[in-house]
Amino acid sequence: MIRTVITGVTGRMGGTLLRLVRESKDLELAGATARQTSRLEQLGVSGGDDLGRVLDTARAQVVIDFTSAEASVAHACQCAERGVAMVIGSTGFTPESRAELAESAKSIPVVLAPNTSVGVNVVIRMAAELARVLGEGYDVEVLEAHHRMKKDAPSGTALKLAEVLASALGRSQDDLTFARHGQIGARPKQEIGVQTLRGGDVVGEHTVYYFGEGERIELTHRATNRDQFGLGALRAARWVTGRSPGLYDMADVLGFQRTS
Ligand SMILES: NC(=O)C1=CN([C@@H]2O[C@H](COP(=O)(O)OP(=O)(O)OC[C@H]3O[C@@H](n4cnc5c(N)ncnc54)[C@H](OP(=O)(O)O)[C@@H]3O)[C@@H](O)[C@H]2O)C=CC1
Ligand SMILES: O=C(O)C1=N[C@H](C(=O)O)C[C@H](O)C1
């Protein structure tokens, strides 16, 4: 059994992960963190509000962390000090906070994935392949929609899609456009648009549009509940436990060959 700690267990993903770990045959719950510690008792889990202290008693092998970018950076330091592997699903990292994570990943294995759903990761791969095959004659745009409570925009998945599309098309971060308003003029050929919708209880939807002359291709993933994010995170937890230190992603977990 893989001894697993869940951070932010009172959150939307924390709750999903708690249920899935409890249902799992090869992962066991070694502890959990919550800022409101009274909720831990209600959920029937042992733990506290400080990951370091939880790890000191839990004998954990892996931490699954879907909290916030800021919290994940702090959690990664605490795991690095104790040699505990991590799966991080939080989004909203800046280049600086990502660099801090990379520092921790010099001493522990970390899977960092803005989307742990296997389906989404297949779509990300297909999106890059489609862009490569279609080439220059298509205007590429990414659209994402999420629930009204989501804090970061665009979603981590949309940013990942934009990154792989830019790489497939030989474009750079400077070609990404995140908002349009007013007299914007004709669309620059190199542009990759990334647009955000927020509302209601939308779990997570991503579409890549390839607008051509006389045709349009749309590649869409729609999550209808959070289980696939959770199941993918458990798969990543099994994969990362016992690995060499390093910063990994879901492409590594799924055994995808590097294309760039
Ligand atoms: N990789 C993937 O597939 C997915 C990634 N996500 C990402 O995971 C993250 C969490 O999403 P979601 O579950 O919807 O969010 P929630 O707000 O529902 O849950 C976040 C949890 O983390 C805790 N938390 C937040 N900030 C801190 C902090 N600074 N220190 C300690 N604990 C903290 C919250 O505690 P409290 O309750 O006290 O606020 C809460 O328990 C987001 O970044 C989201 O984008 C979401 C879904 C899928
Ligand atoms: O906050 C969410 O809910 C989600 N966040 C992830 C992201 O930012 O890409 C993944 C998923 O779509 C749900």
Q: What percent of the chain has pLDDT over 70?
A: 99
- Per the structure, the count of domains in the chain is 2
pLDDT digits (tens, 9 = 90+) for 49-63: 999 999 999 999 999
Ligand 2 atom having least distance to the Cα of 12: 3
The whole-angstrom separation of Cα 189 and Cα 213 is 13
For range 163-183, the mean pLDDT: 97
ipTM over 0.85: yes
The whole-angstrom separation of Cα 180 and Cα 193 is 9
> Residue 98: inside a domain, yes or no?
yes
Strands (E), 58-212: 62-65, 85-88, 109-112, 139-146, 176-177, 192-198, 204-211
The whole-angstrom separation of Cα 21 and Cα 206 is 27
Nearest residue CA, atom 10 of ligand 2?
Answer: 115
> Residue 172: inside a domain, yes or no?
yes
The residues annotated with a catalytic role in the active site are 146, 150
- Indicate whether 62 and 86 sit together in one domain: yes
- pLDDT class of 257 with cuts at 50, 70, 90: confident
User: Phi and psi of 125, rounded to 5°?
Assistant: -65, -40
> Residue 260: inside a domain, yes or no?
no
The whole-angstrom separation of Cα 28 and Cα 22 is 7
Cα 242 to the chain's mean position, in Å? 21
Question: Which residues have C-beta within 8 Å of that of residue 118, sequence separation ≥ 6?
Answer: 228, 231, 232, 235, 250, 254
Amino acid 145: pLDDT: 98
Ligand 2 atom having least distance to the Cα of 206: 12
Query: To test ligand 2's pocket by mutation, which of 12, 17, 229, 231 has the most ligand atoms within 8 angstroms of CB?
Result: 229
Q: Do 31 and 5 contact (CB within 8 A), yes or no?
A: yes
Please state, rounded to an integer, the average pLDDT across all residues of the chain: 97
- Indicate whether 170 and 231 sit together in one domain: no
Task: Decide: helix, strand or coil at residue 167.
Answer: helix
pLDDT at 215 over 60: yes
- pLDDT class of 161 with cuts at 50, 70, 90: very high
Nearest residue CA, atom 1 of ligand 2?
Answer: 150
Neighbours of 174 (CB within 10 A): 8
User: What CATH number does the domain containing 106 carry?
Assistant: 3.40.50.720
Pocket of ligand 1 (CB under 6 A): 8, 10-14, 35-36, 66-68, 70-71, 89-92, 113-117, 152, 156, 229
Task: Decide: helix, strand or coil at residue 259.
Answer: coil
Q: Which residues on neighbouring strands pair with residue 65, listed in sequence order?
A: 7, 88
Query: Does the C-beta of 146 come closer than 6 Å to ligand 2?
Result: yes
- Give residue 166's domain range: 118-223
Place of tokens 């009274």: 38
For range 169-190, the mean pLDDT: 97
Tell how far the Cα of 71 is from the centroid of ligand 1, in angstroms: 9
- Indicate whether 132 and 206 sit together in one domain: yes
Q: Do 144 and 205 contact (CB within 8 A), yes or no?
A: yes
Amino acid 102: pLDDT: 98
Neighbours of 23 (CB within 10 A): 11
State how beta strands 85-88 and 62-65 pair.
parallel
pTM tops 0.90:
yes
Amino acid 36: pLDDT: 96
Query: Does the C-beta of 75 come closer than 6 Å to ligand 2?
Result: no
Ligand nearest to the CA of 113: 1
